[in-house]
Amino acid sequence: MTPHLRPLQFLLVDDDPLILMSLNDLIQDMGHTTVEAPHASAALEHLSGGRPVDVLLTDVKLPAMSGHELAQQARSLLPGLRIIFATGYDQKKVGDALKDPLVRYLQKPFGQKELDDVLSSMGLIETEQR
């Protein structure tokens, strides 16, 4: 299990049910809790309900509303929300979004180590000294 300050609450958004299930298993195996949303509107509904969320992990390419649009609306509800975009696209093409200290990109597919590195870079977990 990953050493962390406390279990984190993730809101997972992906329109592919298999990817959503896989992300859910990966993150719960790391000791965190998750809520799944199959599309952006379900994620916004969850965020509007005032439930705690530490990290929004969303696919970039979603139907009806992109992950970037979702993140913008989510930030209007929770200004300090940390956002991780999962993408199959080249990260060099994301431009200015990388300048936001509360936003990170993960190249699909990724595992616990890559997610640990991102969470550590956001100050959300402590990594083991090796």
We report the CATH number of the domain holding residue 80 as 3.40.50.2300
Number of domains in the chain: 1
Task: Write out pLDDT tens, residues 14-30.
Answer: 999 999 999 999 999 99
Token pair 């990966």 is found at 26
128 inside domain: no
2 inside domain: no
127 inside domain: no
3 inside domain: no
101 inside domain: yes
Task: Write out pLDDT tens, residues 35-89.
Answer: 999 999 999 999 999 889 999 999 999 999 999 999 999 999 999 999 999 988 7
Contacts of 30 (CB under 8 A, 6+ apart): 1, 2, 4, 112, 115, 116
State the DSSP H helix or E strand holding residue 46, giving kind and residue range, or none if neither.
Answer: helix 40-48
pTM value is 0.88
State which residues form the domain around 114. 9-121
